[in-house]
Chains A and B, each alone.
Chain A
Amino acid sequence: DVKVTQSSRYLVKRTGEKVFLECVQDMDHENMFWYRQDPGLGLRLIYFSYDVKMKEKGDIPEGYSVSREKKERFSLILESASTNQTSMYLCASISPPRLLNTEAFFGQGTRLTVV
């Protein structure tokens, strides 16, 4: 089974801290995604990566950056955490170079609280 693992299930950080959310997948997938999920807003795409060292902005990249140094790992970075970044963060990966007819696999989510 494909496994997508997020480093933390729950995280509490202080305003202004630099926060790293890690995501690792074990099936050699090319594409990886970071979403945040807020009540009533669904999943919003923050950043995605279709190859090592490649990244593209999603719909809400402000306040975030990402790193993809190895194929299996996609990190989301909050440069200076703010309370409006309190949210559920979901990582996903998918196999092909193009999104043709295959499913995405999700991690269990990281619930981040910024105080």
Chain B
Amino acid sequence: SQQGEEDPQALSIQEGENATMNCSYKTSINNLQWYRQNSGRGLVHLILIRSNEREKHSGRLRVTLDTSKKSSSLLITASRAADTASYFCATDDRSSYKLIFGSGTRLLVRP
């Protein structure tokens, strides 16, 4: 079963606006990661937040983690057309070596 579930499934915004994507998960984790996938390609790592962290920044990316609610959000500020992609959260299962991905959010940034 999927560990992470992203919300919304699809998001369309205007260039310059902020984009927020949410992820929920089910079990205890060591960390939560966000990945980006351009159409038909492999995934590229964006940012990792540890289970003892609440917020992390990297450039235009801001990630929050609420372990009590088992949820995370990814905020992309001042979006660009080049941010158009699918975004996935991933969590590690503390009881095994698994890395589990959600179903992803498709982001479209209109020029």
Q: Which of B9-50 contact A (CB under 8 A)?
A: 9, 30-31, 33, 35, 40-45, 48, 50
Distance in angstroms between the alpha carbons of A111 and B41 in the assembled complex:
10
Question: Is B97 a contact of A111 with CB atoms below 8 Å?
Answer: no
Q: How many of A's residues come within 8 Å of B, CB to CB?
A: 33
Give how many A-B residue pairs fall within 8 Å (CB-CB).
77
Q: Is A90 an interface residue (CB 8 A)?
A: yes
The reply to whether A108 and B42 contact each other, CB–CB distance below 8 Å, is yes
Chain A binding surface SS class: strand
Query: Using Cβ atoms and an 8 Å threshold, which residues of chain B touch A56?
Result: 96-98
Provide the residues of chain B in CB contact with A111, threshold 8 Å. 40
B103 within 8 A of A: yes
Residues of B in contact, count (CB < 8 Å): 28
A43-59: which residues lie under 8 A (CB-CB) from chain B?
43-45, 48, 50, 56, 58-59
Q: Is the CB of B97 within 8 A of A100?
A: no
Which residues of B lie under 8 Å from residue A59 when comparing CB positions? 1-2
Which of A33, A43, A50, A109: most chain B Cβ within 10 A?
A: A43
Could you list 9 examples of A-B contacts with CB < 8 Å? Answer: A33-B99, A42-B101, A43-B101, A45-B101, A50-B97, A92-B43, A104-B43, A106-B42, A109-B40
Residue ranges of B at the interface with A (Cβ–Cβ < 8 Å):
1-2, 6, 9, 30-31, 33, 35, 40-45, 48, 50, 88, 90, 92, 96-104
A contact set with B: CB distance below 8 Å: 4, 31, 33, 35, 40-45, 48, 50, 56, 58-59, 88, 90, 92, 94, 97-109, 111
